[in-house]
Structure 1
Amino acid sequence: MDNKYAYDLTGVRNALKGHDDLTEYCDAIDRLGLALSTLTELQDATLALDAIAEIHTDPEALQVVSAALMAHAIISYCRATHSGGRGRKKVGATKKYTSDQHEKHMAIADLRNEVIAHAGVPTKGHGVRWLDERVVVKVVEDVEIYSFSRNRANYLAAVIADLRELLAVATATVEEVVEERSIFLNVLNLKHVTDERVVDALGASPFDPYAFYGLGQLADDFWDVTQKKRSETLRNGDW
């Protein structure tokens, strides 16, 4: 495929954000980006749960990495659905939850807030079951020793089951938001297709996957137009 090109719409937005009459267009780019970023976080959580399932029959691997995978799944899910921050507004990922699913969502959020991310005091079932810590004094042949005993879960099957259910609903919801916002941005693209400022901003913002990702299969695969295909690189180390 020789006829291929890409534009960095984040760069376009940055170039145009000073023009008041293009605020709607810039906001549309932002809003689509927020939805796509949220969708990626939900996919991250699902991939982490898939990885736990893949290593389930390997006791050594399960012991070493399952806790990290579980924490990653919980934190990614909560970033997408619960946490607020200046970097990304919520896009309504939980708006189609039933009342029962909302209760499960709050239990996952409590687990994240009070156990996974902070040393707090959990109040919901998952958090209460996750960690039990005791200060113990033991006496052995008249020698008194204080010790610390901890019973901490690497993961809980009930948490995985709840997350799977919630992720299915949240992912489908955000995919709908992405579709709606993509359509709206397409409409604005057509509206401004002859605006010289937009044309110039697009021309000044080409996206080169080899510059962004580096040489390799990931950059080669960037041009795959399969719907819902992830496009990212995960860095290891300082480079």
Structure 2
Amino acid sequence: MREPLLSLGHDLPLLHPEIQDALDRVMAGEAPAWQLAEPPPVIHRRLPQLDLLLPEGEGAPAILFLAGVPADPARLHVAAELAFASGAAVLLPGDIAPLEALRLAAEQGVDVARWGLLGEGKGTGEALGLVLARPAPLALALLCPDGGRLVAGVNWPPILLILAEPGVQGDELARHLMRASAPVTALRYLGAPDGFATDPAMAGCGPGRQAMAQVAALMREELARA
């Protein structure tokens, strides 16, 4: 396993102290994950749910779509650490600068073959396309909450769509993936007891919960027909 990310030139903790405390309580069995005061901004590798969220099969490639993750350096560290420690590629939020994304990959020992920016906006609905040289090249796309474009995949691996928080961004992202016929294997929300954001008792659910449940239902139908 690679060493964890330490910094991007910023002396910041990997997690906000309040979030770290909440995660510690979950790890100690003192609180279920879906009752955290603030949903974790990313899925941290220390959470026991991680083993359930990753696709089955030894060495199965995956792209983790972390929707709704604020693009501050501390949280990006955790996202990159999770992705590369688990052998997966990561999709970071659309408002991260392209060079920051490349730097995150390079610091984890990923051979960055090439990259390109589609459009000129920064976090305004444009998409960043990255192709990382792993055993087989993977195509990554950074999607933004107000639309954006899904980059055509090159050898798309199975995709596990993980939503850090229900809402419009996640709904739109799921619709983009379905329209692009991407090989989505599951739609998950960290904290939902069954892995899907359909539990009305779940804390932190905003007005996007009903739409989120509808998207999850559509995903189930798509997977059943696959």
State TM-score, norm by structure 1: 0.24
Q: Which has a greater percent of helix?
A: 1
Looking at secondary structure, tell me which structure has more strand per residue.
Answer: 2
Q: Which has the larger radius of gyration?
A: 1
| Greater RCO (Cα-Cα under 8 Å, separation 6 or more) | 1
Q: TM-score with structure 2 length normalisation?
A: 0.25
